[in-house]
Amino acid sequence: MTKLLLLLSLFAAVAAAADDATLAKGKQVFEYWCATCHGNGPLPGTVALQAKYKGSKPALLEERTDLLPQITKTFVRKGVSIMPFFRKTEISDADLDALAAYLARNRR
């Protein structure tokens, strides 16, 4: 039993570490590809979301609590308004998974 608990706690630790690594990767992808428009400040993506939601949702994507991973993936691969879609040589599927996980981390 003790061994099983040890094994389980080890597994949980590994899973949490992997998750942290994914989130760290996602943050890195966000900062490289997204923050130049969606970062803090009067940047086009942030201003656009402020104008769209008028405060009913945070203008900063990193503060959103409702971004399902699929929503992020759809916007990245389909684009919206003047934001173009991104190719897989720019944001790979693995990077996009990490980005989507990062933007979903505050989800309630």
Partner 1 sequence: MKLPPGVKSKDFSDAIKQFEEAVGKEWVFTSDEDVALYRDAYSPFWGEEEERVASSAVAPNTVEEVQKVVKTANAYKIPIYTISTGKNLGYGGSAPNLSGSVVLDLKRMNRVLEVSERNAYALVEPGVSYFDLYRHIQEKGYKLWVDVPDPGWGSPVGNALDHGGGYLQPQYRNHFDSHCGMEVVLANGDLLHTGMGAMPGAKTWQEYKFGFGPWIDGIFSQSNFGVVTKMGFWLMPQPDAYLTGTVTVPNHDDLIPLIDTLTLLENSGISNGMPGIGSPLVGGFMMPPPSPEVSAMLAKPDGISSPELQRYARDKGIHYWSCTVKFYGPAKAIAAQWEYAREKFSAIPGAKFQDGEFYKLPLTPDQFNRVHKPEFGIPSLEMFSIGARSPLNPTPGEGHIWFSPIIPRTGEAVFEANRIFSQAARDFGLPILSFSLPTTYWMRAFIFLFGFPITHNVATNRKNRESFKKLVQIAAEHGWGEYRTAPAFQDDVMATYSFNNHALLRFHETVKDAVDPNGILSAGRYGIWPKHLRKARA
The neighbour count for residue 21, using CB atoms within 10 Å, is 11
Q: Toward partner 1, which CB reaches closer, 49 or 105?
A: 49
Q: Return the SS3 of 55.
A: coil
Shortest distance, position 30 Cβ to partner 1, whole Å: 14
Q: How far is the CB of 57 from partner 1 (least distance, A)?
A: 14
Residues in contact with partner 1 by the rule CB under 8 A: 32, 36-37, 41-45, 47-49, 51-52, 77, 79, 81-90
CA dihedral over 88, 94, 100, 103, signed as positive or negative: negative
